[in-house]
Amino acid sequence: MFAYYLDLAVRSLKRNKVLTALMVLAIAVGIGASMTTLTVMHLLSGDPLPGRSGTLFYPQVDADPTNDYSHAEPLDVMDYRSAVDLWSAHRADRQTLVVDSKLKVHAPEVNLPPLMEMMLSTTSDFFPMFDVPFQYGSGWSADDDAKHARVAVISADLNNKLFGGTNSVGHTLRLRDTDVRIVGVLKPWRPSPQFYMVAGGRFANGQTDDFYTKPEDVFTPFTSGLEINDGNFWQFTCWHMPDTPGHLQNAPCVWIRLWVELGGAAKVADYRSFLAGYAAQQKALGRITHADNTRLRSLMQWLDFNHVVPSDVHLQTWLAFAFLAICLFNTVGLLLAKFLRRSGEIGVRRALGASRRAVFAQCLVEAGLIGLLGGIGGWLLTLTGLWLVRRQPSAYADLAHLDAPMFFATFVLAIMVSLLAGALPALRASRIAPALQLKTL
């Protein structure tokens, strides 16, 4: 029966090509617009480390001793002292410090002009903690951290730029004025967002595109990085002017992020009390005032707290769905016109013994077919839409690709929308009184 209905549907769609084209187009643009924004939303609001994010936590202490504001929330990042104290306590399964800075990068063996790149100074746990994939070599050891080793890991991008994508492990890189040995090259790695640097989202007024920038190109041990690029570290904020700009080790400033890995609720509770204990101890020492103002948010909680998805993306999603609704109303109207125009035909079918259910099913098959055609159009428009997004200047532009779940979602949404649009007209068509229609034939 389904095949027969499908055949009928195709015939009916062919009969009035303009109307059919209008309906397919309406569904296609509605689906195209909503799937484009939904895909962007899906890519930006997803979990950057599926499976691991539940064990990653972001500790915060309030190191600002002043009372200039309410201190409802501790500062977004940490001062050097608190961060290094908490890190060296090694009370979590893994812990890592991160701080970024810009510096001049040059490969002495390669005849290319120097580049200004972002350097992430971090500790050895960074790579296993965040599942960072390596192409060549590996990260450095905890020993390298302790010894201020002059080593570096570089991104796949930088490796392509400087070494043409070959194995550059063992080669030398000049970071500002210091030569470091490359120990590892990453595979292309593009977490969305760049979660380990997220902070300050509550002050960004929804303009949070920067959270989606690519990871840094050079990674060095925390201790070495601070020495190599001394004088070029920028604070997140300060409660007094620092004495030596760019060198913030003893400055009244916050500028370092600490991440910890805690497997299991008991460990989280332990770490929470350890954090509170640390703050209380520092208060006793007179270094901080707001000791009870500590936080230990999980990765996803921290991303939520920072409203990482830019508000423009939210707005576009809303807009696209309003647009889809308009397309839906439009299709309902056109389908209604189409089905009721065939009242005579339906009357004959009913008179020959077709049940209401059969007429309803026939109409829905036709609506579903329109949905499928609209889905194909919508898929093409989504690809076009994402291509347009990729050409935008935003930091997340290069992320905009249609993945498999969103590809299927496109068709599911298109067919659902068309069935939804078809339900009411089909119901009306199935209620047609056969006698009345036969009389007018």
Partner 1 sequence: MEIRPILASLRKHRIPAVLIVLEIALACAVLCNAVFMIGQRMADIHWSNAIDEQGISVVTVNGADPKLAASEIPRNLAALRGIAGVTAAAAATSMPLDQNPALSPFVTKPYATTTVNSSVYFIGGDGEKAMGLRLLQGRWFNADEYAGSGFKNFGSTGHVALVTQSDANRLWPGQSALGKTLYTDATGWTVVGVVADVLAEDPKLSGPGGMYSSVFFPLQPDGVMGDYMLRSVPQDRERVVREAVQVLGKLQPGAVVEGTTYAGMRSDYFADANSMVWMLVLVCVVMLAVTAFGIVGLTSFWVQQRRRQIGIRRAVGATRGHILSYFRTENFLLSTAGVLTGMALAFGINLYLMTHYEMSRMPWYYLPGSAIALWLLGQLAVLGPALRAAAVPPVVATRSV
Q: Is 33 in the site for partner 1 (CB under 8 A)?
A: yes
Select from 267-275, 293-301, 320-328, 363-371 the region that touches partner 1 (CB under 8 A): 320-328
Closest CA to 53 of 298, 269, 302: 298
Task: With H, G, I as helix, E, B as strand and everything else as coil, classify residue 269.
Answer: helix
Q: Which is nearer to partner 1, 21 or 280 (CB)?
A: 21
Answer whether 58's CB lies under 8 Å from 302's CB. yes
CA distance 386 to 82: 43
* Residues pairing with 58 in the sheet: 297
**Near partner 1 in 235-274, by CB under 8 A:** 240-243, 245
Q: Which is nearer to partner 1, 315 or 412 (CB)?
A: 315
Q: Which tokens belong to 106?
A: 């040059």
Q: Is 104 in the site for partner 1 (CB under 8 A)?
A: yes
Q: Is 336 in the site for partner 1 (CB under 8 A)?
A: yes
CB of 47 to partner 1, least distance (A): 23
Select from 2-10, 45-53, 157-165, 200-208 the region that touches partner 1 (CB under 8 A): 200-208
Return the HEC string of 189-216: CCCCCCHHHCCCHHHCCCCCHHHHCCCC
Q: Is 181 in the site for partner 1 (CB under 8 A)?
A: no
Q: Which is nearer to partner 1, 353 or 393 (CB)?
A: 393
Q: Is 176 in the site for partner 1 (CB under 8 A)?
A: yes
CB of 418 to partner 1, least distance (A): 15
Q: Which is nearer to partner 1, 142 or 337 (CB)?
A: 337
Q: Is 44 in the site for partner 1 (CB under 8 A)?
A: no
CA distance 225 to 296: 27
Select from 179-187, 189-197, 281-289, 338-346 the region that touches partner 1 (CB under 8 A): 338-346
* Residues pairing with 151 in the sheet: 181
Q: Which tokens belong to 274?
A: 């350890």
Q: Which is nearer to partner 1, 85 or 345 (CB)?
A: 345
Q: Cα 255 from chain centroid?
A: 24
Q: Which is nearer to partner 1, 151 or 327 (CB)?
A: 327
Q: Which is nearer to partner 1, 114 or 188 (CB)?
A: 114
Q: Is 115 in the site for partner 1 (CB under 8 A)?
A: yes
CA distance 139 to 153: 7
Answer whether 9's CB lies under 8 Å from 365's CB. yes
Q: Which is nearer to partner 1, 145 or 209 (CB)?
A: 209
Task: With H, G, I as helix, E, B as strand and everything else as coil, classify residue 329.
Answer: helix
CA distance 382 to 34: 8
Q: Is 344 in the site for partner 1 (CB under 8 A)?
A: no
In the chain, % helix, strand, coil (3-state, to 5) comes to: 50, 15, 35
Q: Is 332 in the site for partner 1 (CB under 8 A)?
A: yes
CA distance 135 to 141: 17
DSSP code, position 164? T
Q: Is 433 in the site for partner 1 (CB under 8 A)?
A: no
CA distance 395 to 389: 11
CA distance 15 to 251: 78
Q: Is 322 in the site for partner 1 (CB under 8 A)?
A: yes
Q: Is 363 in the site for partner 1 (CB under 8 A)?
A: no
CB of 394 to partner 1, least distance (A): 6
CA distance 334 to 368: 14
Select from 4-12, 125-133, 161-169, 206-214 the region that touches partner 1 (CB under 8 A): 206-214
Cis before 193? omega within 30: yes
CB of 34 to partner 1, least distance (A): 11
CB of 229 to partner 1, least distance (A): 11
Q: Which residues bind partner 1 (CB under 8 A)?
A: 19, 22, 25-26, 29-30, 33, 68, 102-104, 106, 113-116, 176, 203-207, 209, 240-243, 245, 311-312, 314-316, 319-320, 322-323, 325-327, 329-330, 332-334, 336-338, 340-341, 392-394, 424, 428
